[in-house]
């Protein structure tokens, strides 16, 4: 049995194909992924010569099951699969024709899967995303005896949480969830209210539930800017009135972040609510009582806008991403070094305000293909820089399910390792506030299934520190509609209700011994220790090799020299080539670093590689500084 996977060159999504390939290889199958030439043939498969090229590729590689991945336009996907099937039939490649191909698979958007399923009946099996490892392999025709014990055990925990989530959603009990009254302290909802005060009061309430944060930022291209801001304010009033939300993250537009106060006439907005004046922020604050508010940092004039957020919305905490939201990812105007200078300058200002700070960092590395160890290292570097610059309360955001194929037991191990690393910095002047959340692309496009996933990931959050009812401090609730549409106030409230009901019920079941006990899991403990050991090697190597590490210069050198592997950077050029040196792959439910020959990369190799290219990075820094 040989699996062959095709991916259009126009589709940048690659992690799904790579993760699928690794799972099948772990089961002992040979997997062939079409090269660039084959991808280009798939782009224009309507031409018979390209169908023939793909047929020849199948024959040359002895492929017996073929799959296509395409996560862009559904109509294009349907046409693409239609031509592929026609080409297979014309060449008599299907088994009922006497050929080698026993199965055809398609992975893509839900609409494309539905249409392809209708058009091709049982011939083409479809995947819309979010399938567990065992679910995927079973659907791919892999018998259970070929699935490794590690995969079966890893999937068992995820499957049990999904079953729990189904029970939550099917019961509908969340719909009658009682409000939690956190108004019992004098400063509640006033200009003197702070995150620390609300956390302190919340810890006195029994039973204890986390503060709830959610993101809200509607955008409609055909609505005038001022009208959209007013629509947003009405939604904010609705969220404040319903009372389920504690912390509102204002989802501003790209132009709000990069060009605040400028003339936007004729410029594309990039989504999000298009706030463009301090008075509009004041109006949001006035209509949001008693919510705590926060918003994205700017990508230009960053310290100045941080001060404006203080004055207008009494921002409850600031967030910066250090290496991101600049020219590297196309989200801001600054080069990396200038961006780091601005962020460190802003961090000093934040420390003067005594406001909390969130390092919005590790998941941005994961988005760009970094491994789990780099996730931990980047999180630690951001937290320690914050402590050195005088931050007293640190918001530790932990994005689970990133990538979505990560196993739950790996997320538990990574989360526990993250907490141990960052909490090692705690003392009487530096406090860590834990805030987990679901992954950005975790949810399925089907609302019912996404609700189940939301309940399941809530159980995962509670299993990170299952013996501590005060953990997590905050949950960032990602609305179940994430995969299909922007969240409205009613969807946000419903998502919060599902989250809180799941937390309540999961804790009840744990007390009765009816949940999987992950407190003493040897697998989780071994994974956690392995991640800790590897991250400690890289952190130690960085601190030894770069004396001024916790500065703009130090963070620049760490990235450019290759200490923080980021394989899927969007920017080309020699300056960042070392960051893209290694590859990553899914292995045993997590993301690991590998060589071109698919061999595991030890952390000592990362440190050695970074040290080897420090002089080169220092030259790039000198060029940036004009030395």
Listed in sequence order, the residues at least 6 apart from 582 whose beta carbon sits closer than 8 Å to its beta carbon are 565, 567, 593, 594, 595, 601, 606
Examine the pLDDT at 571 and tell me if it is beyond 90.
no
Cβ partners under 8 Å of residue 3, min gap 6 = 21, 24, 29, 30, 31, 32, 63, 64, 65, 66, 67, 140
Determine the pLDDT at residue 12: 54
Mean pLDDT of all residues in 302-316: 98
CA–CA gap between residue 384 and residue 473 (Å, rounded):
20
What's the rounded Cα separation, in Å, for the pair 506 and 162? 12
CA–chain centroid gap for 320, Å, is 16
pLDDT for 15-28, tens place per residue? 678 788 888 988 99
pLDDT of residue 122: 82
Q: What angle do CA 562, 567, 571 make, to 5 degrees?
A: 90
Q: Where are the beta strands (DSSP E) in 153-287?
A: 211-216, 247-250
> Looking at residue 179, what DSSP letter applies?
P
Q: Tokens standing for 42? A: 């798939």
Beta strands per DSSP E along 217-262: 247-250
Q: What number of other Cβ atoms are within 10 A of residue 100's Cβ?
A: 16
DSSP type of residue 46: T
Please give the mean pLDDT across all residues of the chain. Answer: 94
pLDDT > 70 in the chain, percent: 99
Give the pLDDT mean for 284-288. Answer: 98
User: Mean per-residue pLDDT for 232-245?
Assistant: 98
**Closest CA relative to residue 40, chosen from 78, 6, 86:** 6
What is the biggest distance separating any 2 CA atoms in the chain, rounded to whole angstroms? 79
Q: Is the pLDDT of residue 545 over 80?
A: yes
Residue 443: predicted pLDDT: 92
Strand ranges (E), 429-553: 431-437, 474-477
User: Rounded to whole angstroms, how far apart are CA atoms 532 and 543?
Assistant: 16
pLDDT of residue 128: 82
pLDDT value of position 598: 85
Distance of CA 183 to the CA centre of its chain: 33
CB 15 within 8 A of CB 369: yes
For the cut 60, the answer to whether the pLDDT of residue 143 exceeds it is yes
Q: CA-to-CA distance for 413 and 355, rounded, in angstroms?
A: 30
Range list of H helices, 61-132: 74-90, 110-120
541 vs 538: CA distance, rounded Å: 5
Q: Is the pLDDT of residue 195 over 80?
A: yes
Residue 295 sits at the vertex; the CA angle it makes with 218 and 310, to the nearest 5 degrees, is 140
Distance of alpha carbon 142 from alpha carbon 102, whole angstroms: 13
Q: Model confidence over 78-132: pLDDT tens digits?
A: 999 999 999 999 999 999 999 999 999 999 888 899 999 999 978 999 988 777 7
Domains of the chain: 2-147 (3.40.50.280), 164-217+241-257+277-514 (3.20.20.440), 524-625 (no CATH)
Q: What are phi and psi for residue 266, nearest 5 degrees?
A: 80, 0
Closest CA to 372 of 69, 600, 129, 613: 600
Tens-place pLDDT, residues 430-473: 999 999 999 988 998 889 999 999 999 999 999 999 999 999 99
What is the mean predicted confidence (pLDDT) over 224-232?
Answer: 94
**What CA–CA distance (Å, rounded) separates 304 from 17?**
43
Which residues are CB-contacts of 131 (< 8 A; sequence separation ≥ 6)?
A: 139
**Residue 474 and residue 434: Cα distance in Å, rounded?**
6
- Give the phi and the psi of residue 12 in degrees, each rounded to 5: -80, -10
Neighbours of 491 (CB within 10 A): 18
175-184 pLDDT per residue, tens: 999 999 999 9
Reported as a pLDDT band with limits 50, 70 and 90, residue 13 is low
Q: Which pLDDT does position 14 carry in this prediction?
A: 61
* Separation of alpha carbons 617 and 620, rounded Å: 5
pLDDT of residue 520: 84
pLDDT band, residue 267 (cuts 50/70/90): confident
- Provide CB contacts within 8 A for 53, sequence distance 6+: 37, 38, 41
Q: What is the 3-state secondary structure (H, E, C) of 313-375?
A: HCCCCEEECCCCCCCCCCCCCCCHHHHHHHHHHHHHHHHHHCCCEEECCHHHHHHCCCCHHHH
Q: Is the dihedral of CA 198, 211, 415, 375 positive or negative?
A: negative
Q: What is the pTM of this model?
A: 0.90
**Other C-beta atoms lying within 10 Å of the C-beta of residue 285:** 18
What CA–CA distance (Å, rounded) separates 47 from 42? Answer: 10
Query: Is the preceding peptide bond at 472 cis, omega within 30 degrees of 0?
Result: yes
């Amino acid at each position: 049995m040989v699996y062959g996977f095709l991916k259009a060159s126009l589709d940048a999504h690659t992690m799904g194909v790579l993760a699928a390939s690794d799972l099948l290889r772990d089961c002992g199958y040979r997997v062939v992924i079409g090269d660039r030439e084959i991808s280009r043939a798939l782009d224009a498969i309507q031409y018979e010569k390209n169908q023939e090229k793909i047929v020849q590729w199948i024959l040359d590689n002895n492929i017996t099951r073929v799959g296509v991945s395409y996560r862009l336009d559904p109509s294009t996907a349907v046409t693409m699969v239609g031509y592929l099937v026609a080409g297979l039939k014309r060449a008599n490649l299907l088994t009922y024709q006497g050929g080698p191909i026993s199965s055809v698979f398609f992975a893509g958007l839900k609409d494309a899967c539905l249409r392809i399923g209708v058009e091709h009946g049982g011939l083409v099996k479809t995947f819309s995303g979010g399938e567990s490892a065992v679910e995927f392999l079973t659907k791919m025709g892999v018998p259970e005896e070929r699935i490794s014990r590690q995969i079966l055990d890893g999937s068992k925990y995820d499957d049990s949480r999904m079953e729990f989530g189904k029970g939550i959603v099917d019961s509908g009990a969340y719909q009658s969830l009682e409000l939690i009254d956190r108004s019992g302290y004098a400063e509640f909802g006033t200009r003197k209210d702070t995150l620390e005060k609300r956390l302190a009061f919340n810890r006195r309430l029994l039973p204890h539930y986390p503060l709830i944060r959610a993101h809200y930022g509607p955008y409609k291209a055909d609505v005038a800017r001022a009208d959209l801001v007013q629509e947003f304010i009405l939604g904010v009033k609705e969220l404040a009135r319903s009372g389920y939300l504690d912390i509102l993250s204002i989802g501003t537009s790209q132009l709000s972040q990069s060009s605040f106060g400028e003339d936007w006439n004729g410029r594309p907005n990039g989504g999000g609510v298009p706030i463009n004046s301090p008075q509009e922020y004041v109006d949001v604050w006035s209509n949001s009582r008693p919510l705590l508010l926060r918003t994205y940092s700017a990508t230009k004039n960053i310290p100045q806008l941080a001060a404006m957020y203080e004055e207008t919305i009494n921002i409850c905490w600031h967030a910066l991403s250090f290496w991101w939201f600049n020219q590297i990812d196309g989200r801001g105007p600054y080069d990396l070094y200038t961006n780091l200078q601005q962020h460190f300058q802003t961090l000093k200002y934040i420390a003067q305000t005594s406001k909390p700070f969130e390092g919005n960092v590790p998941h941005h590395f994961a988005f760009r293909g970094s491994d789990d160890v780099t996730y931990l290292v980047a999180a630690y570097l951001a937290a320690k820089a914050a402590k050195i610059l005088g931050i007293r309360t640190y918001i530790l955001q932990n994005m689970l399910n990133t990538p979505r194929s990560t196993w739950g037991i790996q997320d538990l191990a990574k989360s526990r390792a993250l907490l141990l690393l960052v909490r090692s910095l705690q003392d009487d002047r530096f406090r860590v506030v834990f805030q987990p959340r679901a992954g950005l692309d975790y949810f399925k496009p089907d609302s019912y299934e996404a609700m189940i996933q939301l309940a399941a990931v809530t159980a995962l959050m509670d299993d990170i520190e299952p013996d501590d009812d005060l953990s997590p401090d905050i949950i960032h609730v990602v609305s179940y509609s994430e995969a299909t549409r922007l969240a409205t106030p009613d969807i946000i409230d419903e998502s919060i209700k599902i989250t809180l009901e799941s937390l309540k019920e999961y804790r009840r079941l744990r007390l009765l011994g009816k949940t999987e006990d992950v407190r003493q899991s040897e697998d989780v403990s071994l994974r956690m220790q392995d991640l800790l050991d590897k991250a400690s090697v890289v952190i130690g190597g960085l601190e030894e090799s770069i004396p001024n590490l916790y500065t703009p210069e130090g963070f620049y050198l760490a990235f450019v020299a290759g200490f923080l592997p980021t394989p899927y950077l969007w920017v080309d050029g020699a300056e960042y080539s070392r960051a893209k040196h290694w590859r990553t792959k899914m292995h045993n439910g997590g993301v690991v670093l590998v060589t071109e020959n698919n061999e595991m990369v030890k952390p000592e190799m990362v440190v050695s590689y970074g040290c080897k290219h420090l002089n080169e990075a220092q030259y790039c820094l000198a060029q940036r500084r004009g030395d």
